[in-house]
């Protein structure tokens, strides 16, 4: 193996990415991996959170010699303020996504849906009931209109607490009430957090951090939850579906269209458009047998969950997908779409198309996606991609063969049906398996990938070691894609690696031990699953008592910080593969990593090594089980250090 390839193998785990990164070097194309190299020695003030540029007396940096900013702010204030602003960024991203979907639901209810419909009436009626909306004997449009108005009120309410909080166990609601962080309207809290981080407002680090948790709650139980609920109504509640993942899903023989970003409105219509008879004719005339649609990032997860459309890759494969030379068009919307894409695309024939007014990129073609005439708009994009097919240069094409089968589509509803059967959907069998110690607990592995360390390595090592130890793993976002690419999301491959108890339970139910639960906003499905476990009984009164842990092994985005916060505020311990930018304040660090445990029942833990993370997780699960009195007496020796796999 060449020196170069060796270096690449230290950067990425999966062979398809290794192959394409080598091609990038041959083609002289920059990627985030080469740029990570040039960004080495990142600013220490930034990484420790003690750079403040909130006003123009600054920027101020805290050092031993200058422990206060010009205004007198100390490290605690600056670190906490920066942290809160990150949580706000993440919450805003998820919530704005949720808002667009509610507005769409409202238009659909009013008969102005622009081609969208209520696909899952049962979900609509189920959700309406949860919010005490009269549904019996009423048309689905009327029910949808009431629900849409109620959910829009979640964004605008000023003094009324969020209604979606009622979906949480009472114990959590009481904890939030006790600590005075019951959130009101989503928009108000986001505005308020920006206000209190302005110069000269909130300087008490604890007060700022409690605001971070309160803000995150409007994400997890508000904006994100709303996004998931409404997506299920409009596009269908996911149920298990087979598909494939990795760059090998791209086709050498047809035009390839990639959807990338987060909002499912566009990708849903593209999924319809590629099968439209008019498009089939059109592509035939261009000399191909069809169009291959696949996805990157969470848009991929959305259309995988509902249509079984394959995943081409996760966040750090967006540039690599273009470098295959086989992509006619990459359609981007919001979040996690790199500004480098048009530059990468210049070396090939790929057209990068941005579609929304709030997300434009220099060098991309901007084609506004008309949601009010969605199918026509989607078909135009597809035709444009087909027109570009003739420009593909076969000399530049190299598609890796990696293409792993997977099963996705595990909504909580689907899991409930699988566990309990069609007539009595229920979480009982899962609770019983946890109580009987066949399953140790559930762990949500979520979040991004990050070129700071070998991509997918932490996620995949951790996942494997956990299922070996009888832990049921729930996955979303790019962390789900890591497992999918590894071929670990089918019962056939994963069950033989699982521990005996977990294997038997999964075999009996017919599920893999690693469940793909969707996109980033679908992290709320993990909260929903934990809530179902509580409601089912026998495993505590609240989420904080359930043997459950969250992990963000290779996270990078503000959204991941918000997710971490709402997990902790909901009582779930969260393991981070990379620390937050808070080390400049001991007080903030102690608050987030220790004191929150007393407040909520869960806290953050920095664990940079996946094997150490396994140990920590097993310890946390053990402790929760101990409190529930469901540990076997002889079970003190928890972890097995053998067969560590090197990074
Ligand atoms: Fe983005 Fe949602 Fe992170 Fe992936 S996981 S890199 S945020 S796409 Ni949510
Ligand atoms: Fe400096 Fe204070 Fe202004 Fe921040 S708010 S930049 S610490 S003067």
**Among residues 570, 551, 538, 549, which one has the least CA distance to residue 623?**
549
**Share of the chain residues as helix, strand and coil, in percent rounded to the nearest 5:** 55, 10, 35
Element (H, E) at 213: helix 205-217
From first CA to last CA, the distance across the chain in angstroms is 18
Distance from C-alpha of 597 to C-alpha of 568, rounded to nearest angstrom: 8
Q: Check pocket membership of 558 for ligand 1, CB cut-off 6 A.
A: no
Q: How far is the CA of 298 from the centre of ligand 1 (A)?
A: 6
In sequence order, the β-bridge partners of residue 332 are 260, 354
Distance from C-alpha of 168 to C-alpha of 217, rounded to nearest angstrom: 11
Q: Give the ligand 1 atom nearest the CA of 298.
A: 2
More confident residue, 6 or 547: 547
Q: What is the pLDDT of residues 471-487, one digit of tens each?
A: 999 999 999 999 999 99
pLDDT at 1: 53
Ligand 2 pocket, CB under 6 A? 52-55, 57-60, 69-71, 73, 78, 199
Q: Output b/e per residue, 517-538; b: 16+ Cβ within 10 A.
A: bbbbbbbbbbbbbbbbbbebee
pLDDT of 640 higher than 70: no
Q: How far is the CA of 639 from the centre of ligand 1 (A)?
A: 31
CA dihedral (224, 227, 229, 232) in degrees, to 10, reads -130
List, in order, residues 6 or more apart from 328 with CB less than 8 Å away. Answer: 255, 256, 257, 349, 350, 351, 385, 386, 388, 389, 392
pLDDT at 3: 63
Distance from C-alpha of 352 to C-alpha of 258, rounded to nearest angstrom: 10
Q: What is the pLDDT of residues 299-341, one digit of tens each?
A: 999 999 999 999 999 999 999 999 999 999 999 999 999 999 9
Share of the chain above pLDDT 70, in %: 97
**Among residues 122, 198, 109, which one has the least CA distance to residue 151?**
109
pLDDT at 2: 61
**Among residues 153, 220, 145, 158, which one has the least CA distance to residue 184?**
158
What would you report as the CA-atom Rg of the chain, rounded to the nearest whole angstrom? 24
Asked whether the beta carbons of 207 and 213 are under 8 A apart, the reply is no
Q: How far is the CA of 565 from the centre of ligand 2 (A)?
A: 26
Distance from C-alpha of 320 to C-alpha of 334, rounded to nearest angstrom: 19
Q: How far is the CA of 41 from the centre of ligand 2 (A)?
A: 25
Q: Check pocket membership of 566 for ligand 1, CB cut-off 6 A.
A: no
Distance from C-alpha of 593 to C-alpha of 215, rounded to nearest angstrom: 18
Distance from C-alpha of 322 to C-alpha of 347, rounded to nearest angstrom: 9
Q: Minimum-distance ligand to the CA of 564?
A: 1
* DSSP output for 63-89: -SS--S-TT---HHHHHHHHHHHHHHH
Q: What is the pLDDT of residues 207-256, one digit of tens each?
A: 999 999 999 999 999 999 999 999 999 999 999 999 999 999 999 999 99
pLDDT of 284 higher than 70: yes
pLDDT at 372: 87
Which of 69, 80, 82, 205 for a ligand 2 pocket mutation test, highest count of atoms within 8 Å of Cβ? 69
Distance from C-alpha of 343 to C-alpha of 31, rounded to nearest angstrom: 10
**Among residues 550, 546, 579, 564, which one has the least CA distance to residue 219?**
564
Q: How far is the CA of 449 from the centre of ligand 1 (A)?
A: 8
**Among residues 294, 303, 166, which one has the least CA distance to residue 225?**
166
Q: Minimum-distance ligand to the CA of 66?
A: 2
Distance from C-alpha of 212 to C-alpha of 216, rounded to nearest angstrom: 6
Residue 398 structure tokens: 């190299």
pLDDT of 424 higher than 90: no
Pairing mode, if any, of strands 60-61 and 51-52?
antiparallel
Distance from C-alpha of 291 to C-alpha of 383, rounded to nearest angstrom: 10
Average pLDDT over residues 396-417: 97
pLDDT band at residue 647, thresholds of 50, 70 and 90?
A: very low
Asked whether the beta carbons of 349 and 392 are under 8 A apart, the reply is yes
Q: What is the pLDDT of residues 124-141, one digit of tens each?
A: 999 999 999 999 999 999
Q: How far is the CA of 47 from the centre of ligand 2 (A)?
A: 18
pTM of the complete model: 0.96
Q: Minimum-distance ligand to the CA of 58?
A: 2
List, in order, residues 6 or more apart from 325 with CB less than 8 Å away. Answer: 348, 349, 392, 393, 396, 397, 398
Which of 89, 96, 477, 525 for a ligand 1 pocket mutation test, highest count of atoms within 8 Å of Cβ? 477
Q: Check pocket membership of 296 for ligand 1, CB cut-off 6 A.
A: no
Asked whether the beta carbons of 162 and 95 are under 8 A apart, the reply is no
Element (H, E) at 592: none
Q: What is the overall mean pLDDT for the chain?
A: 95
Give the phi and the psi of residue 514 in degrees, each rounded to 5: -125, 115
Q: How far is the CA of 199 from the centre of ligand 2 (A)?
A: 7
Q: How far is the CA of 27 from the centre of ligand 1 (A)?
A: 27
Q: Whose CA is nearest to atom 3 of ligand 2?
A: 55
Cβ–Cβ contacts within 10 Å for residue 622, how many?
18
Element (H, E) at 550: strand 548-552
CA distances from 590 to 74, 351, 583, 623 (A): 16, 48, 10, 21
Cβ–Cβ contacts within 10 Å for residue 378, how many?
27
Q: Whose CA is nearest to atom 2 of ligand 2?
A: 71
Q: Is the dihedral of CA 175, 180, 181, 185 positive or negative?
A: positive
């Amino acid at each position: 193996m060449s020196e170069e390839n060796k270096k690449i193998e230290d950067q990425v785990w999966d062979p398809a990415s290794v192959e394409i990164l080598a091609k990038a070097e041959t083609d002289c194309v920059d990627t985030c991996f080469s740029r990570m190299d040039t960004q080495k020695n990142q600013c220490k003030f930034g990484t420790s959170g003690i750079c403040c540029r909130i006003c123009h007396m600054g920027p101020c940096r805290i050092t031993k010699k200058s422990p206060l900013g010009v205004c007198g702010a100390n490290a605690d204030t600056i670190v906490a303020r920066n942290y809160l602003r990150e949580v706000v960024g993440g919450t805003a991203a998820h919530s704005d996504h949720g808002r667009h979907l509610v507005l769409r639901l409202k238009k659909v209810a009013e008969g102005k849906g622009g081609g969208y419909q209520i696909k899952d009436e049962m979900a609509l009626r189920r959700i309406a009931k949860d919010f005490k909306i009269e549904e019996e004997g009423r048309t689905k449009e009327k029910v949808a209109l009431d629900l849409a108005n109620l959910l829009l009120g979640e964004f605008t309410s000023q003094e009324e607490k969020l209604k979606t909080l009622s979906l949480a166990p009472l114990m959590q609601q009481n904890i939030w009430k006790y600590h005075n962080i019951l959130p009101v309207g989503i928009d108000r809290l986001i505005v308020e957090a920006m206000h209190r981080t302005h110069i000269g407002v909130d300087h008490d680090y604890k007060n700022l951090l409690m605001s971070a948790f309160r803000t995150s709650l409007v994400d997890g139980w508000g904006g994100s939850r709303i996004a998931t609920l409404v997506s299920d109504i409009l596009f269908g509640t996911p149920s298990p579906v087979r598909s494939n993942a990795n760059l090998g899903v791209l086709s050498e023989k047809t035009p390839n269209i990639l959807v990338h970003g987060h909002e499912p409105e566009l990708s849903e219509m593209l999924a319809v458009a590629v099968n439209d008879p008019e498009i089939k004719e059109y592509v035939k005339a261009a000399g191909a047998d069809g169009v291959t649609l696949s996805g990157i990032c969470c848009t991929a997860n959305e259309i995988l969950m509902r249509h079984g459309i394959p995943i081409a890759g996760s966040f750090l494969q967006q540039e690599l997908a273009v470098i295959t030379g086989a992509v006619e068009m990459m359609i981007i919307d919001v979040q996690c779409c790199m500004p480098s894409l048009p530059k990468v695309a210049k070396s090939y024939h790929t057209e990068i198309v941005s579609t929304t007014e709030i997300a434009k990129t220099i060098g991309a073609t901007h084609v506004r996606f008309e949601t009010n005439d969605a199918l026509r708009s989607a078909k135009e994009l597809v035709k444009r991609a087909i027109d570009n097919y003739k420009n593909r240069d076969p000399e530049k094409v190299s598609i890796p063969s990696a293409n792993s089968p997977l099963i996705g589509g595990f909504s909580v509803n689907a899991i409930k049906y699988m566990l309990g059967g069609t007539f009595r959907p229920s979480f009982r069998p899962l609770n019983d398996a946890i109580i009987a110690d066949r399953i140790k607990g559930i762990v949500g592995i979520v979040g991004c990938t990050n070129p700071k360390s070998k991509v997918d390595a932490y996620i995949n090592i951790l996942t494997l070691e956990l299922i070996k130890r009888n832990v049921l793993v729930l996955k979303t976002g790019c962390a789900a894609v890591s497992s999918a690419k590894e071929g670990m999301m089918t019962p056939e491959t994963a069950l033989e690696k699982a521990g005996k108890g977990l294997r038997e339970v999964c075999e009996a139910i017919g599920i893999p031990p690693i469940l793909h639960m969707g996109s980033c906003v679908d992290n709320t499905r993990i909260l929903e699953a934990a809530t179902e476990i509580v409601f089912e009984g026998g495993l505590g009164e609240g989420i904080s008592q359930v043997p459950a842990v969250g992990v963000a092994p290779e996270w990078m985005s503000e959204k991941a910080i918000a997710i971490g916060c709402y997990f902790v505020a909901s009582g779930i311990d969260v393991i981070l593969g990379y620390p937050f930018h808070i080390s400049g304040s001991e007080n903030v660090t102690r608050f987030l990593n220790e004191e929150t445990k007393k407040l909520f029942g869960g806290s953050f833990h920095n664990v940079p090594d996946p094997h150490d993370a396994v140990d920590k997780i097993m310890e946390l699960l053990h402790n929760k089980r101990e409190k529930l009195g469901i540990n076997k007496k002889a079970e003190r020796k928890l972890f097995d250090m053998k067969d560590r796999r090197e990074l």
